[in-house]
Amino acid sequence: MNLQEIEQLGPQALIKAINDLILHDFDQLIFILYRLDIPEAKLKTLLAEHPQEDAAKMIAALIIERQLQKQKSRESFRQQGDIPEDERW
């Protein structure tokens, strides 16, 4: 499972993929979380505060939250980039 595949999954498929990575390729999961810019401290705190919860669900929620943040950021920059034609370089 790679970063592009992870980004295309729906919530339930994402949880399953994360569980598979936890069990079979933890290093790849860490790499993906790093590439997605998931804050390590936030993840550690969340996992420590909810030890009985499904770790894959919590990780998936963080991934989805981060992807939505990125999408919002891109949209705001795109809107700011709407410079009138006569003011462009």
The whole-model pTM stands at 0.80
Does residue 85 lie within any of the structural domains? no
User: Is residue 37 included in any domain, yes or no?
Assistant: yes
In a domain, 72, yes or no: yes
Q: Domain for residue 89, yes or no?
A: no
User: Does residue 17 fall inside a structural domain?
Assistant: yes
In a domain, 44, yes or no: yes
Number of domains in the chain: 1
Which string of DSSP letters, residue by residue, matches the chain? --HHHHHH--HHHHHHHHHHHHHH-HHHHHHHHHHTT--HHHHHHHHHH-TTS-HHHHHHHHHHHHHHHHHHHHHHHHHHT---GGG--
In a domain, 7, yes or no: yes
Domain that holds residue 38: 3-80
pLDDT digits (tens, 9 = 90+) for 21-33: 999 999 999 999 9
Is 27 domain-assigned? yes
Query: pLDDT tens across 38-50, in order?
Result: 999 999 999 999 9
